[in-house]
A and B are shown apart, each in its own frame.
Chain A
């Protein structure tokens, strides 16, 4: 068959960008983790800087764990959580959701939006964490009323009481080298806790 030179190369056939087959998809070396919700409990608070912020728990939608049934139904888990005082925080409390899903080994690696998974040469490393961003999120939860403010009596009987005991222990050990700076640090921490708890009234 005759061929006419001067036309488009390859007879006008255009290349396309290949679509990566599933087996070649780029994935994190992390093991897959289930979807989850963050949850709040009135007993779980922590001192961060000079303020009391909630210490959230994680409710994983993981079949067989904590009452999640064979189909992923969470009714039984919801009931158990609510009976013990947990309050689940919906993904939609912030516009772009607080959960992120990364392609990983055997499924998706689900983590919060403030966590960036890290790996080098196939080895999983601790994630980079935007702590300031996460703390802003915790502040927003309290400010917007998604979680109730801390109850001073509860803080006094949990965080403050535990911190007092920690200091009593350290006082008894303060003759040992290196303990004095720790004692001073923990005393400052107790003072900050008491101030924050007073401010929460």
Chain B
């Protein structure tokens, strides 16, 4: 007589956990640490939460002028503007019970929550960044009309006419729909202008954000790009290095306090606090950061159909 599965139900489980977890589908791309963004410095131990970046008119802004022999020169004043960036605390807390930890078999535990703080900080940085780049005073695009190659050219012209550095110093961050609309438009193009997705095997090497490049400018996709025109449009942007700046701050660990983890290569810190009565561990990630526009002329907002 056959011994069936149901005959040994006391020795079997209704379900077991797969050893392979699948992360929930979400946009995890961030320009955190990108060289396309100016870094104003660390505010740690400097006396203020605000860092001012001087923008002097030097290095050729004031040209020499012809002057007659034996005539005297007059002094030319220096034009000096500045931009400021103010840091503020960004945080995320998780409370993990001991029961959660002791029953874990796949890696959803305190250690995972600590590691997760790096992604949480990176995505918060991305959110702050795109909430700045929608505010360039130069704009291109047409409300409720799909993004096209023409909008891309308009953005390119706007930056070039403002004397912004060329394609190698530029970057474009667009809403995913803007990227696909642009791709559709590029399909109709031929000749010298080609959409390149093969640059250094970029698509294979990178994650969700990089979508290729067009006319030498990298195209990055972010679902965090905000809306414009009361939600009818997306406000992506193209900018050159120096358009946007960010600052951060790194506090020192307090002696005798709870355990503190400083993930390597990042400015955030994760603090652990035990609640013995509740048999749980609080995991608090902190990141002090601020993002601001540095020079308006170096960026252009691309406002097209959402």
Contacts and interface: CB of A to CB of B under 8 A. Distances in A.
Contact of B231 (A48, A70, A126): A126
Given A64-B86, A178-B188, A134 B137 contact: no
A127 B87 CA distance: 32
A170 B142 contact: no
B230 interface: yes
Contact of A115 (B131, B188, B230, B288): B230
A108 to B, nearest CB: 16
B240 to A, nearest CB: 17
B138 interface: yes
B137 A44 contact: yes
Contact of B150 (A48, A158, A170): A170
A35 interface: no
A76 B82 CA distance: 12
Interface residues of A, number: 49
Given A43-B138, A67-B85, A166-B154, A112 B230 contact: yes
Contacts of A165: 153-154, 157
B154 A162 contact: yes
Nearest to B125: A64
Contact residues of B: prevailing secondary structure: mixed
Nearest to B295: A84
A162 B158 contact: yes
A60 B131 CA distance: 8
Contacts of A173: 189
Contacts of B142: 46-47, 189
A129 interface: yes
A66 interface: yes
Contacts of A47: 142
Contacts of A134: 229-230, 232
B132 A114 contact: no
Contacts of A67: 50, 84-86, 290, 292
Contact of B50 (A63, A69, A84): A69
A71 to B, nearest CB: 8
Contacts of B226: 58
Interface string A22-63: 000000000000000000010110111000000111111011
A201 interface: no
B137 A84 contact: yes
Interface string A73-95: 00011001001110000000000
B219 interface: no
18 contacts: A43-B139, A46-B139, A46-B142, A57-B134, A57-B135, A58-B135, A63-B88, A64-B86, A66-B131, A66-B132, A80-B84, A84-B137, A111-B227, A129-B230, A129-B232, A134-B230, A166-B154, A176-B188
Ranked nearest first, the 6 interchain pairs of A and B with the lowest CB-CB distance are: A63-B88, A64-B88, A115-B231, A134-B230, A114-B230, A64-B290
